[in-house]
Amino acid sequence: MDMQSSFLDRLFDSGLLIDTGVDGLYGRSGQFEDVISAFERLIDKFGGADGAEAIRFPPGMNRAFFETSGYMKSFPQLAGTVHSFCGNELDHMSLLKCMEVGDDWTKDQQATDIVLTPAACYPLYPTVAKRGAIPENGALYDLQSYCFRHEPSKDPARQQLFRMREYVCMGSEKHVTDFRQSWMDRGVEMMKAVGLDVTIDVANDPFFGRAGKMLANNQRDQNLKFELLIPITSVAKPTACMSFNYHQDAFGTKWGLNFADGSVVHTACVGFGLERIALALFHTHGLDVKEWPESVRKTLWG
Ligand code: 5GP
Ligand code: ZN
């Protein structure tokens, strides 16, 4: 058995994760959630004084915004859309017949106005753009959302529905790149405080197809994405538990995010993969939180 499925089995056996029959879709125990809540309080401790505006969007977003975002150009393989039955009584009868005989009943489902949120920051840009000009000294937002990515896997660190906590910064190039650097430093400090071994490395998003390879290389060459990596199911290939993304003026241009003088703002976002961080803690310190090192327990629970 490989390391990924054996860790997953141990998580199921301990009750920390609950099998739903679908790879990458898990229930979580109270104990697992308590670790995530404690880590989120630690994030608040590090980031709270920055005065970010907290906003919580549901795990689904406006399909029109999703279309404008260009997500389907870059990551069609990961997207999830919400479809519903929109027919009449006759259609309903044929739907039930279809289900009864085991045929594909989903093919007549119609797209709704909602798609599943692919990253916590996606609903933010159009929301902020609607409000008007960005202040000269920039803007900062604190987000958390369940995100969906269609990538079923036996690796417990690759889930299809997982939570992402994000800080998003808008402002001048210097303002947002300083923000990103400060969170790289804070990320290392935070993980050290909870006894996790980390490295930071340049990274790229999983752009689709042959054209995607060029986009990925470009992103790497320009150091637009860094990840904070922690060993979970492999030491040779540690898992990205945080990412630090500089979008240049791409989102500013796309969404019309401008300063009062009309110039386009730059944006950056920093994301914490909350399930991955909890899994890194359980993998490193053991499945029983009572046995975790005192210093780690103190950092998380005081
Ligand atoms: P990014 O937008 O950089 O791909 O994702 C931000 C963060 O979300 C990642 O650094 C990671 O911690 C978390 N994340 C990304 N994909 C997955 C996934 O498939 N499963 C889980 N649990 N977390 C993920
Ligand atoms: Zn983001």
The ligand with the least distance to the CA atom of 166 is: 2
Ligand that lies nearest to the alpha carbon of residue 233, given by its number in the listed order: 1
Q: How far is Cα 208 from Cα 28, in angstroms, rounded to an integer?
A: 31
Confidence (pLDDT) at 210: 95
Q: 1 pLDDT exceeds 70?
A: no
Residue nearest to atom 24 of ligand 1 (CA): 273
Of ligand 1's atoms, which has the minimum distance to the CA of residue 205?
4
**How much of the chain, in percent, has pLDDT values that exceed 90?**
98
Under 8 Å between Cβ of 147 and 58: no
d(CA 147, CA 78): 11
- pLDDT for residue 5 is more than 80: no
- Residue 2's pLDDT is 80
- What is the 251 CA–ligand 2 centroid distance (Å)? 11
Each residue's pLDDT tens digit, 226-256: 999 999 999 999 999 999 999 999 999 999 9
Using CA atoms, how far apart are residues 31 and 41, in angstroms rounded to an integer? Answer: 15
Tell me what the mean pLDDT of segment 87-109 comes to. 96
177-197 pLDDT per residue, tens: 999 999 999 999 999 999 999
Residue 262 has pLDDT above 80, yes or no: yes
Ligand 1 atom 4: residue of nearest CA: 205
- The closest alpha carbon to 287, from 9, 1, 4, belongs to 9
- Check residue 261 and give its pLDDT: 97
**Ligand 1 midpoint to CA 241 (Å):** 7
- The residue written with tokens 């301990």 in the block is 14
DSSP symbol at 264: B
Binning pLDDT at 50, 70 and 90, where does residue 152 land?
A: very high
Q: Residues within 5 Å of ion ligand 2 by Cβ?
A: 119, 121, 269
CA–CA gap between residue 72 and residue 19 (Å, rounded): 30
- CA geometry: angle 17, 147, 202, nearest 5 deg: 100
273 lines ligand 1 (CB under 6 A): yes
Residue nearest to atom 15 of ligand 1 (CA): 273
Residue among 124, 163, 276 whose CB has most ligand 1 atoms within 8 A, to mutate: 276
CA dist list (Å): 54 to 61, 121, 122, 143:
17, 12, 15, 6
Domain spans in the chain, listed from the N-terminal domain onward: 3-62+118-301
Pick the CATH number of 3-62+118-301 from 3.30.930.10, 3.30.300.30, 1.10.1200.10, 3.90.1010.10: 3.30.930.10
For ligand 1, atom 19, name the residue with the nearest CA: 158
pLDDT score of 3: 78
What value does the mean pLDDT take over residues 159-171?
98
Q: 120 C-alpha vs ligand 2 centroid, how far in Å? A: 6
